């Protein structure tokens, strides 16, 4: 780790535990924004207190399903309304893990 990145006080797992879908999507968008800003995935994982595979899975999901305008909005750090976030980034909602 070349640069020292500020760690979050509360880990990613604790923030999404029992959270509504808006909070869940925002946390994932924060991870996406950090990766697009040039921070290595390992450092992002350490910053959010999660595993590197979690960061990779979030990025893979975002790159696969995001539209170009969504990608540009995250890179430039646009502020979005709650309804916009829920509508445009609904693919970041948690999926059922039941068999």
- Mind listing the pLDDT tens digit of every residue in the chain (99 residues)? 456 666 666 677 666 666 677 888 888 888 998 898 889 999 999 888 889 999 999 999 998 888 777 776 666 666 777 788 788 888 888 777 788
Q: What is the pTM of this model?
A: 0.75
Determine the Cα–Cα distance for residues 74 and 89; give it in Å rounded to an integer.
11
Determine the Cα–Cα distance for residues 49 and 44; give it in Å rounded to an integer.
8
Task: Give 59's contacts (C-beta < 8 A, 6+ positions apart).
Answer: 31, 32, 35, 41
SS3 91: helix
Chain length of the chain: 99
Write the CA distances from 29 to 2, 11, 40, 62, 98, integer angstroms. Answer: 24, 15, 16, 9, 25
Which pLDDT score is estimated for 76?
A: 61
Which pLDDT score is estimated for 75?
A: 62
Determine the Cα–Cα distance for residues 28 and 88; give it in Å rounded to an integer.
13
Q: What is the pLDDT of residues 19-44, one digit of tens each?
A: 677 888 888 888 998 898 889 999 99
């Amino acid at each position: 780790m070349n640069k020292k990145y500020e760690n979050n006080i509360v880990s990613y797992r604790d923030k999404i535990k029992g959270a509504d879908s808006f909070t869940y999507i925002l946390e994932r968008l924060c991870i996406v924004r950090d990766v697009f800003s040039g921070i290595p995935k390992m450092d992002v994982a350490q910053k959010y207190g999660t595993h590197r595979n979690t960061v990779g899975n979030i990025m893979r999901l975002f790159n696969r399903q995001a539209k170009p305008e969504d990608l540009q909005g995250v890179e430039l750090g646009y502020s979005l309304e709650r309804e916009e976030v829920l509508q445009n980034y609904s693919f970041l909602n948690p999926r059922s893990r039941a068999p």
